[in-house]
Structure 1
Amino acid sequence: MTTSPKTAIILGTGLGQLASEITDTCEFPYKDIPNFPVSTVEGHAGKLIFGKLGGKDIMAMEGRFHFYEGYNMKEVTFPIRVMYELGIQTLFVSNASGGMNPKFKIGDLMIIDDHINLFPEHPLRGKNFPTGPRFPDMHEAYNLQLRNLADTIAREKGIRVVHGTYVGVQGPTFETPHEYRMYHLLGGDAVGMSTVPEVIVACHCGIKVFGLSVITDLGGFDAPVEVSHEEVQEAANAAQPKMTEIMREMISRS
């Protein structure tokens, strides 16, 4: 199999359905890849896929790694370094997240405009990699052209999308009602336990990023709501067809 992907996708919790859309596949379990961590979270299959989507060669991570699993930030973001060495130029990231914006509904797709990094360790801490500057600019971590393209496709296909800021936190606990409120006061619209470290390293490598959050639960409002990982997976599964349609079409046009 000969492939030269310029685009990579990271599929988050319960969002592995997109992988079934990939054709001409060649798959590698993470455990068989030197220096790759192994995903330990339910809903993360744990394999690297090469194939075609939207008529383009792509690379996809079905399942990601999290700081809360006990990995350090170098390990969490190691796959991004591999992507850079393989010539990846554009990265699509997806996640399941808790919504804090009162205008949001469960099942909404949130195009990530920006993020707030609240992780206790920075992925660029330590000796600087030569893939980028010591102090990388982050004024447009999520590519505006790709965000506009997603809006266009969503309008054409009649898919509801919202925009917002993603707050990245350590986890693994879901947020308390007042934590939800605090993050919203800070400017966040959705909160989750991933994405931010990978995006920072991608930006450091000069890789363009598009991010999409599936709003799987809501918090911070008047009535506290109990959340479980199973419910998050269920809501993410229900939203998968819409996310798949947008991402497939974006890859085809970009």
Structure 2
Amino acid sequence: MSFDSPPALSVAELSYAYGRKVALDRVSFAVAPGECTILLGPNGAGKTTLFSLITRLYASRQGRILIAGHDIGKASRRALAQLGVVFQQPTLDLDLTVLQNLRYHASLHGLSRRRADTRIREELERQGMYERRKEKVRQLNGGHRRRVEIARALLHEPRLLLLDEPTVGLDVPSRKAIVEYVHRLCEESGIAVLWATHLIDEIFETDRLVVLHKGTVRGKGPIPEVLNTAGAETVGDAFHMLTREAA
């Protein structure tokens, strides 16, 4: 990785409101290539709004979002071409095979059939799913469906991967496998990850944190830095202290 590389994601002074209700208030942070950043926040913190702005489902006139150096407001196509997303709600077509789902998504990104099949094989083999490529998604359990969604998000080789609570509803072995896979992916491929979760046990010591509460960033940075900010000894305690209501 070059030290001159821009952040995979840069969010600067980002604000957004639904009428008079402020959802985000001057949110700023960055995610570097090869870095896994965990976005923590209770319900109503603004995580969904933030992801909606990064994916361009919403547009904000206040603040800037850059993906791999491209301003999402001024160069949306270039910015979004560097983005892969796994939403909390499943989005695969259950009646298509794994291969059909992935080929369809690859075509949306303009990949040729030959290139698409090469990338599909690479991503499915990484997760031990290539032998199941001809099965209908309906036949897969929740953990294997998530693996397919992650593979789909990586087909076009994005610089940034957004994960919106991807392990919700999965059993412990499936959660563990996905958490370990994503962290290994960061280390080996250099992709940047922004992972929204409320499960403390999904956090690795090497991760960075962004703690969001009521639309503002209450703590961010490497885990030791966030612990120091909160005056806490564990991530769980830090999260509680940074998001608790004043008496």
Higher helix share: 2
Is TM-score (shorter-chain normalized) higher than 0.5? no
TM-score (norm 1): 0.29
